[in-house]
């Protein structure tokens, strides 16, 4: 048994190396070759760059499915076909944002501001329309400056996905919601789709480097609600909408 466990650990480590090697090779070598010509040629360079990112990460998860046969993915059609919406999700693993990018060809989200300082990758993030985070706030200056472009992005069929908790939950419980995303939805007059993410933290646990390739697991994404408030109503309340969303997530815990 000790020998078998050692072999399994080595296998999990090798699978992890293969997956992250593909991930990094794509961002550092393959994709930069495409960035500049796409940026120059494409009529909508932001949409084209988003789609490149989408295809890269779609391939990443195809490779994940091939190498880690004990992990299954259940992502219904109603999730895959979301468009022109603000998507609000719980956040339990590093895999959550890249999984969502792999689902939606046109997507923007809020990214840690430090990534915008990385050569080439930072250029890609800016020109693809991703938004740098602001410390302790959702509606930072960069977000406010990008509101009109976000509105145009949603009108063209794209999605803005946000984790209102702001960081990953290490115990699966919900952290307090930042209400900024609901203000964005109001400004853009967009529906709010609530997606509950389940068990990505079993495949890739917060604080760990190794993928869990040994345990059986089913990663599920579920559309648990659609909020379409009357934004023009005198009775509209951002706090009330945020609380309504939170209660729907709490029912899944």
Domain containing 126 equals: 2-250
> Which pLDDT belongs to residue 50?
95
Cα separation, 129 vs 53, in Å, equals 12
Q: How confident is the model at residue 71 (pLDDT cuts 50, 70, 90)?
A: very high
Q: How confident is the model at residue 135 (pLDDT cuts 50, 70, 90)?
A: low
> Which pLDDT belongs to residue 139?
57
Q: How far lies 145's CA from each of 84, 85, 139, 158, 163, in Å?
A: 20, 19, 10, 18, 20
Q: Could you give the angle at the alpha carbon of 160 between the alpha carbons of 188 and 109, nearest 5°?
A: 130
Number of neighbours of residue 237 by Cβ within 10 angstroms: 12
Q: Is the pLDDT of residue 134 over 80?
A: no
Q: Are 224 and 194 in contact (CB under 8 A)?
A: yes
Six token digits for residue 115: 């990534």
The two counts, helices (H) then strands (E), for the chain are 11, 7
Q: Are 174 and 68 in contact (CB under 8 A)?
A: no
Q: Are 106 and 158 in contact (CB under 8 A)?
A: yes
> Which pLDDT belongs to residue 140?
58
> Which pLDDT belongs to residue 154?
97
Six token digits for residue 141: 């200056």
Cα separation, 185 vs 191, in Å, equals 7
Q: Is the pLDDT of residue 190 over 80?
A: yes
Cα separation, 24 vs 234, in Å, equals 49
> Which pLDDT belongs to residue 1?
61
What's the domain count of the chain? 1
Each residue's pLDDT tens digit, 6-50: 778 889 999 999 999 999 998 888 888 888 788 788 888 899 999
Q: How far lies 165's CA from each of 67, 170, 174, 221, in Å?
A: 31, 12, 7, 17
> What pTM does this model have?
0.92
Lowest-confidence region among 31-35, 97-101, 133-137, 202-206: 133-137
- Is the model more confident about 175 or about 193? 193
> Among residues of the chain, what percentage have pLDDT more than 90?
65
Residue range 163-169: average pLDDT? 89
Residue range 151-158: average pLDDT? 96
């Amino acid at each position: 048994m000790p020998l078998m466990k050692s072999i399994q650990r080595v296998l999990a480590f090798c699978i992890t190396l293969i997956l992250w090697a593909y991930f990094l090779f794509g961002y550092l070598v393959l994709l930069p070759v495409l960035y500049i010509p796409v940026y120059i040629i494409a009529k909508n360079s932001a949409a084209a760059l988003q789609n490149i990112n989408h295809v890269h990460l779609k391939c990443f998860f195809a490779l994940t499915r091939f190498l880690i046969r004990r992990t299954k993915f259940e992502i219904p059609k109603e999730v895959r076909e979301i468009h022109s919406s603000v998507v609000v999700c719980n956040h339990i693993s590093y895999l959550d944002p890249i999984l969502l990018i792999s689902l939606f060809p046109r997507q923007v989200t809020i990214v840690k501001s430090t990534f915008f300082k990385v050569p080439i990758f930072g250029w890609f993030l800016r020109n693809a329309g991703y938004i740098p985070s602001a410390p302790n706030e959702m509606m930072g200056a960069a977000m406010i400056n990008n509101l009109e472009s976000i509105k145009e992005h949603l009108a063209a069929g794209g999605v803005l996905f946000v984790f209102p908790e702001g960081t990953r939950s290490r115990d699966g419980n919900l952290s307090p919601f930042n209400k900024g995303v609901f203000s964005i939805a109001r400004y853009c007059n967009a529906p709010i789709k609530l997606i509950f993410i389940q068990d990505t933290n079993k495949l890739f646990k917060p604080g760990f480097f190794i993928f869990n390739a040994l345990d059986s697991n089913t990663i599920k994404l579920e559309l648990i609600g659609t909020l379409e408030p009357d934004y023009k109503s005198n009775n509209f309340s951002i706090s009330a909408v945020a609380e309504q969303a939170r209660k729907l997530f709490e029912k899944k815990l």
